[in-house]
Amino acid sequence: MDDRCIFCGALVPEGSMICPQCELKYMPVVEETDDEETEEKD
Ligand SMILES: [Zn+2]
């Protein structure tokens, strides 16, 4: 029994809910940034 992508309906491997494309599209990898935004005011 094939599973389908919950977003686009494409067939995905059994056990998967999202196809690779939608995984990238809807679940992007969050990059942790240690950079604090500093506002320079004159
Ligand atoms: Zn998809």
Q: How does pLDDT run across 4-14, given as a tens digit for each residue? A: 999 999 999 89
Distance, CA of 18 to CA of 6 (rounded, Å)? 6
Residue 16 has pLDDT above 80, yes or no: yes
Q: Decide if 9 is inside a domain.
A: yes
Q: How many domains does the chain have?
A: 1
Whether pTM exceeds 0.75: no
> Is the separation of the CB atoms in 5 and 22 below 8 Å?
yes
Going from the Cα of 41 to the center of ligand 1, the distance in angstroms, rounded, reads 45
* Ligand 1 centroid from CA 30, angstroms: 19
Residue 17's closest CA among 26, 8, 4, 27?
4
- Residue 29 Cα to ligand 1 midpoint, Å, equals 16
In a domain, 1, yes or no: yes
Q: What's phi and psi for 21, nearest 5 deg?
A: -65, -45
Residue 36 CA to ligand 1 centre (angstroms): 35
Domain containing 4 equals: 1-28
Distance 33 CA to ligand 1 centre (A): 28
- The pLDDT > 70 percentage for the chain reads 100
19, amino acid identity: C
What whole-number distance in Å separates Cα of residue 14 and Cα of residue 19?
A: 11
Q: Does some domain include residue 40?
A: no
Contact 14, 3 (CB under 8 A): yes
